[in-house]
Amino acid sequence: MKEKRKIGRVAAVALFVALVAAVLFVEGRILRAKFIGDSTTIVNGFYNEKKNDVDMVIIGSSNSFCTIDPRILYKDYGIAAYDFGSSLQPMEISLLYLKEAFKRQQPKVVAFEVNMLVGDTNDLGEEALRWGYTDIPLSIDKLKSIYHSLGNGKMGAEYFSYVFPVFRYHNRWKELTKTDFTYFYKDKTNYTKGYLETGTVYGEGVNLSSYYNECDAWISDENMACFDEMLKLCEENGAKLLLFKSPREGWYSAYTELVEKLAAERGLLFVDYNKLYCENGIELDLAQDFRDTEHLNDYGAAKVTRHLGDYVCQNYDMPDRRGDAEENSWDVAVLYKERKDDRGFFAARTARECIEMLQGDENYVLIVTDAENGSEGKVRQWVYEDGKILIDKVWDRDEVLHVKIGEDSEVVLAKKGWVNQVRVDDVEQYEAGRKWNVVVYDKVVGSVVGSLYFDE
């Protein structure tokens, strides 16, 4: 009888612990920060891919997913690739991401962007770790990785805030939006395959000639240990490890020489686009191809991606998935990209011209704002879908309106005092100060593909 009571108590405790863990898990999923467009959509998109469908995985910090566009690799070379990275990703997290990749995929090539390999890059602060860990599923590998990242021994509240994000974000309930609840069950497909799109042009000119500046270069013991484990994982899983460095300010020839030496010692290939640019091996427009001093925009990424595609096809045996009998997710991703790239309406000179160009395509939803309507200067807004006016509103008092568009997106129009808003899926799209604002939502892509401003 005593033995039965003991078993019953143990079972009750175990059930209680499981229930607490489940509650913490659900609360954490809701309360944790959503790094939309960065780690959250990249990581969840990767886990949404079919198993053993990815032939090339790109690992690294933001320099990886702002440089290589998998849709171009597929369209031009038939390579089924995915950018599986996170911002400011230290080597310990790169190692974790590679372990996660091999749990679900059997890539033939792992392309590792080496920005975080050189120097002592382990102590990057909480932000980098949150970006990297928050959306990775709980596992023994994740627990070990957090333990090592926090300095081998910090097993207190800080450690558990990474294991259960609710401990870190418990005060965030005041700023929760609808996305925090709906993202929980939304389709996690990432139609850029992890790539971060941006047409932003830095314009001031990036100084890549600083590549030849003198500096100290070293690889910390911790980084080297992670790198060697990454190489071992690739060898055990039959994948080739390819090293590459995206073009950016702040990368120097001494770094390149250090990585070249390491690659030679390990029998690996290494492509440095800083060195290539300085030696006329690739053409880049330093005023137009960057979004800032450290990251390429879509124009520069397309150039580097095609160069890397040529390089991979020349040096590795990669299958061409374009010939698959059935449509795959990369075919769909390319279609989405083509829809996004079809931006003829950006050439419109007036709001009327823009609307006339778009209203004949049933896949576009238009949210139009006239900020100088009527003699009193009241703001007027329309929402068009399928040739119908869903909302026609002249704002004369503070109010909030909601309307569903596409399959599961929501437009929120609001007025508070002198401020008007146009939010699509919780992202602000309206820019004050111009007479006309035309927000273009594409139902095929499932997102906003343009926000244009006109004075007439």
CATH of the domain at 89: 3.40.50.1110
Q: What is the DSSP letter of 128?
A: H
Q: How far is CA 390 from CA 141, 197, 355, 446, in A?
A: 50, 30, 16, 18
Residue 441 domain flag: yes
Same domain, 210 and 241: yes
CB-count exposure of residue 236 (10 Å: 0-12, 13-18, 19+): exposed
Same domain, 306 and 352: no
Same domain, 100 and 83: yes
Number of structural domains, the chain?
Answer: 3
Q: Quickly tell me which residue has 């011209």 as its tokens.
A: 353
Q: pLDDT tens digits, the chain, 456 residues: what are they? A: 566 666 666 666 666 555 655 554 554 454 455 455 567 889 989 999 999 999 999 999 999 999 999 999 999 999 999 999 999 899 999 999 999 999 999 999 999 999 999 976 656 666 778 888 888 998 999 999 888 888 765 566 677 677 766 545 545 555 556 565 555 556 678 889 999 998 889 978 899 999 999 999 999 999 999 999 999 999 999 999 999 999 999 999 999 999 999 999 999 999 999 999 999 999 999 999 999 999 999 999 999 999 999 999 999 999 999 988 787 899 989 988 888 777 788 888 998 899 888 888 888 999 999 987 544 558 899 899 988 888 899 988 899 999 999 888 899 999 888 888 899 988 888 877 778 999 999 988 788 888 888 887
Predicted local distance difference test score (pLDDT) of residue 228: 97
Same domain, 118 and 240: yes
Same domain, 446 and 414: yes
Range of the domain at 21: 1-30
Residue 217 domain flag: yes
Residue 162 domain flag: yes
Same domain, 413 and 265: no
Q: 3-state DSSP call for residue 349?
A: coil
Predicted local distance difference test score (pLDDT) of residue 204: 81
